[in-house]
């Protein structure tokens, strides 16, 4: 059976749902080509001297990004690939990235479009040097009417306003997962063709699960509802849940979420008291929001523990939120513990 390429899929979607205007189709095609280039660089790793930290201005230590985190060489390369690929096509009004303080304006020599693109160019970069799966996450919003020079404020829209969200996992195979609001679909990179081909359509997350994902080393910092929920899972058969649970933690959100899309599960990065100034570790605009849209489109739940992630009104481009997402019934249970 001949599989559809991403291009063919997008054209079919346009006929079926009129949900893929040509500028959005161009945006997705350009982002998918940038993801292919990132996949090639990630795949070279040590062979191309791309592992390790990106040297800071002095050349001595690692550069530090706006998150206060040491930048890996591939963080910077992935960011530049996405910027260069997207700035000339005429489909964007501006871009924003985990790796940059403020929005990246479209150079005046290029035409502008109506979309805003946000991305985490290399998610899980602490796994790069140990050859564990990493990925890229992206989110697409419409630029507010009449805004010609978008500032950060133009991006501060709730996740429910996203017109498209996706991520790539650079694992044993490179897989692009995409939603345009009509279900979640996965495309695997055929390296001989050089194209993404449709390999899963209308992905559904099982509503129940026996597998949870959380960084247990933070347990002593969690709030009581999260401690209660995890303690019950750990109690297994003899505890209130009456069954044993398994645990996975890749420390690349893209890999954990992809597993949950494939076989169910619940992923949590809760608020913790380790750093009271931070509402959890994950960033709302280019990690939690795109993943929440994808998970909800696949029949799962995505909450901060207190509110639906897609309803959060952003106040800052790099703000963090607590994240609980995955199998619907488990997310509902965690939310109920936070509300009781």
How far is residue 182's CA from residue 136's CA, in Å, rounded to a whole number? 21
Residue (93 or 226) nearer to ligand AFP, CB: 226
Residue whose C-alpha is closest to residue 177's, from 219, 124, 136: 136
Angle at 260 between CA 255 and CA 264, to 5 degrees: 160
Spell out, one character per residue from 291 to 330, where the chain touches ligand AFP: x when CB under 6 A holds, - when not: ----------------------------------------
Report, in Å, the least distance between residue 250 CB and ligand AFP. Answer: 7
Out of 61, 126, 173, 243, the only residue in the binding site for ligand AFP (CB under 6 A) is 126
Q: Residue 219: which region, alpha, beta or left (left: phi > 0; alpha: psi -120 to 50)?
A: alpha
**Ranges of H-type helices in 98-192:** 152-155
Report, in Å, the least distance between residue 72 CB and ligand AFP. Answer: 9
Residue (113 or 270) nearer to ligand AFP, CB: 270
Residue 103 binds ligand AFP, judged by CB under 6 A: no
Residue 69 binds ligand AFP, judged by CB under 6 A: yes
Indicate the SS3 state at residue 109.
coil
Report, in Å, the least distance between residue 117 CB and ligand AFP. Answer: 19
Residue (69 or 190) nearer to ligand AFP, CB: 69
Residue (61 or 215) nearer to ligand AFP, CB: 215
Residue (253 or 293) nearer to ligand AFP, CB: 253
> Which secondary-structure segment (H or E) carries 164?
strand 164-170
241, 119 Cβ separation under 8 angstroms: no
Residue (32 or 252) nearer to ligand AFP, CB: 252
Q: Are strands 266-269 and 211-213 parallel, antiparallel or unpaired?
A: parallel
Residue 272 to residues 153, 249, 269, 328: CA-CA distances in angstroms?
28, 17, 9, 23
310, 160 Cβ separation under 8 angstroms: yes
Site for ligand AFP in 7-36 (CB under 6 A): none
Report, in Å, the least distance between residue 271 CB and ligand AFP. Answer: 13
How far is residue 298's CA from residue 65's CA, in Å, rounded to a whole number? 33
Report, in Å, the least distance between residue 165 CB and ligand AFP. Answer: 15
How far is residue 279's CA from residue 271's CA, in Å, rounded to a whole number? 5
Angle at 7 between CA 169 and CA 299, to 5 degrees: 55
How far is residue 35's CA from residue 11's CA, in Å, rounded to a whole number? 20
Residue (164 or 325) nearer to ligand AFP, CB: 325
Residue (112 or 281) nearer to ligand AFP, CB: 281
Indicate the SS3 state at residue 229.
helix
How far is residue 9's CA from residue 48's CA, in Å, rounded to a whole number? 34
Residue 338 binds ligand AFP, judged by CB under 6 A: no
Residue 124 binds ligand AFP, judged by CB under 6 A: yes
> Which secondary-structure segment (H or E) carries 105?
strand 104-105
Out of 54, 73, 258, 281, the only residue in the binding site for ligand AFP (CB under 6 A) is 281
Site for ligand AFP in 239-278 (CB under 6 A): 251-253
Out of 123, 211, 272, 330, the only residue in the binding site for ligand AFP (CB under 6 A) is 123
Residue 157 binds ligand AFP, judged by CB under 6 A: no
Residue (150 or 280) nearer to ligand AFP, CB: 280
Site for ligand AFP in 215-234 (CB under 6 A): 215
Residue 82 sits at φ, ψ, to 5 deg, of -70, -40
* Footprint on this chain of ligand AFP (rule: CB under 6 A): 69, 123-126, 215, 251-253, 281-282
């Amino acid at each position: 059976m001949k599989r559809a390429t991403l291009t063919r899929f997008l054209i079919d979607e346009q006929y079926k749902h009129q949900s893929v205007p040509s500028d959005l189709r161009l945006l997705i095609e350009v982002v998918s080509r940038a993801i292919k280039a990132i996949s090639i660089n990630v795949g070279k790793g040590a062979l191309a001297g791309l592992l390790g930290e990106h040297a800071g201005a002095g050349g001595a230590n690692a550069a530090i990004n706006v998150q206060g985190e040491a930048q890996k060489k591939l963080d910077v390369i992935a960011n530049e690939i996405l910027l260069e690929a997207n700035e000339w096509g005429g489909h964007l009004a501006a871009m924003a990235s985990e790796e940059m303080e403020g929005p990246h304006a479209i150079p005046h020599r290029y035409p502008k479009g109506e979309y805003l693109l946000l991305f985490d160019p290399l998610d899980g970069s602490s796994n790069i040097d140990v050859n564990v799966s990493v990925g890229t996450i992206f989110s697409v919003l419409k630029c507010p009417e009449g805004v010609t020079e978008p500032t950060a404020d133009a991006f501060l829209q709730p996740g429910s306003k996203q017109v498209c969200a996706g991520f790539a996992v650079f694992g044993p195979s490179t897989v692009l997962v995409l939603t345009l609001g009509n279900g979640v679909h996965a495309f695997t990179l055929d390296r001989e063709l050089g194209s993404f081909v449709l390999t899963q359509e209308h992905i559904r997350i099982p509503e129940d699960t026996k597998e949870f994902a959380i960084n247990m080393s933070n347990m002593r910092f969690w709030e009581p509802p999260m401690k209660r929920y995890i303690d019950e899972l750990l109690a297994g058969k003899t505890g209130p849940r009456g069954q044993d649970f398994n645990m996975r933690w890749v420390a690349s959100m893209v890999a954990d979420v992809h597993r949950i899309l494939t076989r169910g599960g619940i992923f949590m990065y809760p608020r913790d008291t380790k750093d009271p100034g931070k509402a959890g570790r994950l960033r709302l605009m280019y990690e939690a929001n795109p993943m929440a849209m994808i998970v909800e489109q696949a029949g799962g739940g995505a909450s901060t523990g207190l509110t639906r992630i897609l309803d959060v009104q952003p106040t800052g481009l790099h703000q963090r939120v607590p994240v609980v997402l995955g199998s619907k019934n488990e997310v509902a249970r965690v939310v109920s513990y936070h509300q009781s």
